[in-house]
Amino acid sequence: MIRDAPDRYFASFVVQTEPGALLHRETVVGIDLGLTHFAVLSDGTKISSPRFLSRAEKKLRRAQRALSRNQDGSRNRDKARLTVARAHARVADARRDFHHQLSTALIRDNQALAVEDLAVRRLARTRLAKSVHDADWSGFVAMLEYKARLHGRAFHRIGRFEPTTRTCSACGTKDGPKPLHVRAWQCPACGTWLDRDINAAVNVAKAAGLAVSACRAQVRPGVIPAQRGEAGTHRGAA
Ligand SMILES: [Zn+2]
């Protein structure tokens, strides 16, 4: 039995299972991890954090506020501290569940996967980035990697600095840096309208040598949402 900080008990045991044989897939995928969405795929799918995770995070913030209001050494403060510890544990559990579900689905549906190396990303980000996202992403990427190995899927980390948001995924032309609020732009060389996140995911896949189509990175000029500033950028004009 293991007892962790918020007074929860776990029976710990190891289950040995044969990795279930997965069907061979023709599909491959590039993955861009970000803040506006948890992940954006080269096929155009945008994945947000699930509601059960945001709910747990909201409860945690509320518990933390209650604790900071409780500054005396009273029993109430001990209680508030325990509530925070429990809320922390629930967030960690919810996040792990989400990472498991998403990584399992991605491994099941794709023969090869590519993701930007996070050490590289840290170099490119701004200081506004929160370390919580680093921990969040690296936990997820580690999970993807071991599941890929377990199931014989190819897994690529794009290690070199690839200017994924400067390069047009349709024609390969390298354009100037773009501030983070620019969510879509038109390639000056080939005229394609590009979605920032999907373009990055396609470039990650291409940098790994995966044959993905750039057509999902294209947007019609008419559907581009109003551009606005954002707080909490995780990378500058990379
Ligand atoms: Zn182009």
Q: What is the pLDDT of residues 57-94, one digit of tens each?
A: 999 999 999 998 887 777 888 899 999 999 999 999 99
Cα of 3 vs centre of ligand 1, distance in Å, is: 56
List pLDDT tens digits, range 121-137. 554 555 444 555 666 78
Measure 189 CA to ligand 1 centroid, in angstroms: 5
Q: Are strands 154-158 and 112-116 parallel, antiparallel or unpaired?
A: parallel
- The rounded Å distance from CA 193 to ligand 1 centre is 8
Ligand 1 center to 170 CA (angstroms): 5
CB 38 within 8 A of CB 113: no
> How many angstroms is it from 117 CA to the middle of ligand 1?
24
Stretches in the chain below the pLDDT threshold 70: 1-20, 118-135, 160-163, 220-238
Q: How many CB atoms lie within 10 A of CB 89?
A: 17
What spacing in Å lies between the alpha carbon of 172 and ligand 1's midpoint?
6
* Model confidence pTM above 0.85: no
Question: Beta-carbon neighbour count of residue 170 at 10 Å?
Answer: 20
Angular region, 181: left φ>0, alpha ψ -120 to 50, beta rest: alpha
Main-chain phi, psi angles of 50, to 5 degrees: -70, 160
pLDDT at res. 179: 82
Which are the catalytic amino acids? 32, 116, 197
All residues with CB under 5 Å from ion ligand 1: 168, 170-171, 173, 187, 189-190
Closest CA to 106 of 52, 201, 2, 31: 31
Ligand 1 centroid–CA 121 distance in Å is 24
